[in-house]
Amino acid sequence: GQQVMQIPQYQHVQEGEDFTTYCNSSTTLSNIQWYKQRPGGHPVFLIQLVKSGEVKKQKRLTFQFGEAKKNSSLHITATQTTDVGTYFCAVSNFGNEKLTFGTGTRLTIIP
Amino acid sequence: GAGVSQSPRYKVAKRGQDVALRCDPISGHVSLFWYQQALGQGPEFLTYFQNEAQLDKSGLPSDRFFAERPEGSVSTLKIQRTQQEDSAVYLCASSSEGLRTQPQHFGDGTRLSIL
């Protein structure tokens, strides 16, 4: 079945430093979504990428979809304590609403 | 408007008991999903409804798990003869209909503990 790996599994950064998480799929994707889950909370949708090579920005967050549509990245510039949480990529296959979540990257911020 | 509502928030049951978990999706959302999330892991897909039709139940771990959405709105996930490995957070999500995969809106989940 679909396999989605994220690296790193954990990341500890000083407040103000940048952070990047990478998502890799074994198959070509129709689209990819990113979610954030705060400790004790539920996943919250951040963004969806559809086009090959697509780049989208949300304030300090930059999302990128690979040219081959097999990988994606999320980059946070100048992290803040509010960025703490686990970031998941989630993928679906063509014509299927079912999401397969990545393994997640847990971000902690050192004040 | 209101988001996805799940009840109960916490459920403790003894091994062998049956449990029922409820999900109230966002009004008007056609698609409803159930996921199981173990501690420190990502959500794992269980099953998916489009209105009242269960289109995919490939993620249900065994025939002890059963889900329904009889009127195309509220859904119930039932687990029979619970076992310790069923302990997890059960998340429900809903999404609207569209030409492409839509964002999923998650509830707060039900944390199930089997003793």
For the stretch A35-50, pLDDT in tens is 999 999 999 999 999 9
Instruction: Calculate mean pLDDT across residues A75-81.
Output: 97
Residue B6 contacts A where some CB pair is shorter than 8 Å: no
Do residues B33 and B92 lie in contact, with contact meaning Cβ atoms separated by under 8 Å? yes
Right CATH number for B5-114 from 3.40.640.10, 3.30.420.40, 1.10.3720.10, 2.60.40.10? 2.60.40.10
Instruction: Calculate mean pLDDT across residues A55-75.
Output: 97
Instruction: Provide, as residue numbers in chain A, all residues whose Cβ is less than 8 Å from the Cβ of B48.
Output: 97-98
CATH code that applies to domain A4-110: 2.60.40.10
Residue of A nearest to B95 (CA): A97
In angstroms, the CA B34 to CA B57 distance is 10
What does the pLDDT read at residue A97?
Answer: 79
Q: Which of B45, B55, B105 lies at the smallest CB-CB distance from A100? A: B45
Residue A85 contacts B where some CB pair is shorter than 8 Å: no
Do residues B115 and B47 lie in contact, with contact meaning Cβ atoms separated by under 8 Å? no
Residue A3's pLDDT band, with cuts at 50, 70 and 90, is confident
Min distance B37 CA to chain A CA atoms (Å): 10
In angstroms, the CA B29 to CA B48 distance is 13
Q: Determine, for residues A42 and B31 on separate chains, whether the beta-carbon distance falls below 8 Å.
A: no
What does the pLDDT read at residue A1?
Answer: 64
Phi/psi at A95 (5° precision): 70, 15
Q: Determine, for residues A99 and B45 on separate chains, whether the beta-carbon distance falls below 8 Å.
A: yes
- The DSSP output letter for A69 is S
> Mutating which of B101, B102, B110 best tests the A interface, going by the most A Cβ atoms within 10 A?
B101
Do residues B90 and B24 lie in contact, with contact meaning Cβ atoms separated by under 8 Å? no
Instruction: Provide, as residue numbers in chain A, all residues whose Cβ is less than 8 Å from the Cβ of B105.
Output: 45
Instruction: Provide, as residue numbers in chain A, all residues whose Cβ is less than 8 Å from the Cβ of B91.
Output: 42-43
Q: What is the sign of the dihedral through the CA atoms of B67, B60, B103 and B10?
A: positive
In angstroms, the CA B21 to CA A50 distance is 34
What does the pLDDT read at residue B66?
Answer: 97
Residue of B nearest to A46 (CA): B103
Which residues does residue A70 pair with via DSSP β-bridges, in sequence order? none
The amino acid at residue B25 is P
For the stretch B19-54, pLDDT in tens is 999 999 999 999 999 999 999 899 999 999 999 999
Instruction: Calculate mean pLDDT across residues A24-28.
Output: 90
What does the pLDDT read at residue B1?
Answer: 55
How do beta strands A55-58 and A61-65 pair?
Answer: antiparallel
Lookup: tokens for B99:
């030409």
Residue showing tokens 């998480």? A21
In angstroms, the CA B46 to CA B60 distance is 5
Q: Determine, for residues A45 and B103 on separate chains, whether the beta-carbon distance falls below 8 Å.
A: yes
Segments making up each domain of chain A, as ranges: 4-110
Residue B99's pLDDT band, with cuts at 50, 70 and 90, is low
